[in-house]
Amino acid sequence: MKDTTIRTVDQLVEKLLAIRSKRLGAHLKAEVLLVASEIRPGLDAAIRVELEKLKQSKKICKTLAICLETIGGHIDVVDRIHTVLRQHFDEVYFVVPDFAYSAGTVLALSGDRIYMDYYSVLGSIDPQIEDAQGALVPGLGYISKFEELVKRIDEKPPGKAQAETAYLLNKFDPGRLFLLEQAKSRSIALLEEWLSTYKFKDWTKTETGQNPVNAQARRERAQKIADALCNPKLWHSHSRGIGIAELRGDKIKLKIDDFSEERALEEKVRLYYDLAIDYRNKLGARSIIHTERGLRRL
């Protein structure tokens, strides 16, 4: 696109977004996809279409860097997104300049590498379903409160738990509880599989004793991380952000790349992400995805 063809602010911004996407990709030696969206049905198909168009338009490299912002959503959609990504790319990096909560955390942990800085946060693995109005409802608190009530009923003498029993019957939907429990189990299973397969693939020796690490050890480490991220007592809130220091710390012990440690990379991440999010907000769009080919509103 020549400068003489740029006649609107939208054209100018999209031209600049394409330039900044390519610069970030050149630095990471990767194709770049920006996703700023709730993880709902349809996002997986949109990502598939955009990546297929990108692949048709040029010879792509086999590494993808996803600049991700999301409050989370459906774990089944995460699974389908993962299938799309691994169909087209051998390695997948996730760059989280701001936040990726809940199912977004599961998606980020499916990558070979994760880039964050001191401001970035992931979230607890809190499965969500839609309520009657279509809003996403976090589930770990719902499950935890149900288990607490059942325990209180079990601990009381027969006939002495009428109030708790009545509350349980009136407030808890068995169908919703089943869906949330299934989503939680699915999230843990995917985390265990993806962490051990991708994030830990190069973990062959322990850091301290330099002892060999086998597939079983990688799987057990992934399970501990999944259990920690699915424990509501550790994080207290669905929206509680878990920063890079905690992710690297003793509770979780994840290897996270800090993009702010490299000034040139930090600048490229911020210039691209900040412009894309500001443009989304000015468009009044709920969700966007972007590649160097252009921006798509969802």
User: Residues 256-289: pLDDT tens digits?
Assistant: 999 999 999 999 999 999 999 999 999 999 999 9
Task: Work out the pLDDT band at 125, boundaries 50, 70, 90.
Answer: confident
pLDDT at 189 over 70: yes
Q: What is the pTM of this model?
A: 0.84
Whole-number average pLDDT of the chain: 87
pLDDT number for residue 57: 94
In 3-state terms, what secondary structure has residue 121? strand
Q: What is the largest CA-CA distance in the chain?
A: 82
pLDDT number for residue 28: 98
Give me the phi and psi of 166, to 5 degrees please. -65, -45
pLDDT at 181 over 90: no
Cα 253 from chain centre? 18
pLDDT at 243 over 70: yes
CA nearest neighbour of 122 among 233, 244, 225: 244
Distance (Å, rounded) from C-alpha 242 to C-alpha 102? 11
Task: Work out the pLDDT band at 119, boundaries 50, 70, 90.
Answer: very high
**Which stretches does DSSP call E strand in 71-160?**
91-95, 99-100, 113-116, 121-123, 128-130, 136-138
Q: Which has the minimum average pLDDT: 5-19, 222-236, 244-258, 275-289? A: 222-236
Whether residue 287 contacts residue 37, with contact meaning beta carbons closer than 8 Å, is answered with yes
pLDDT digits (tens, 9 = 90+) for 71-96: 998 899 999 999 999 999 999 999 99
pLDDT at 146 over 90: no
- Which range is most confident: 78-82, 102-106, 135-139, 169-173? 78-82
Distance (Å, rounded) from C-alpha 231 to C-alpha 245? 18
Residues 6 or more apart whose CB falls under 8 angstroms from that of 15 comprise: 1, 6
pLDDT at 117 over 80: yes
Please, which residues bridge with residue 137 across strands? 129
Instruction: Give how far Cα 144 sits from Cα of 130, 153, 289, Å.
Output: 18, 14, 35
Place of tokens 């002892």: 211
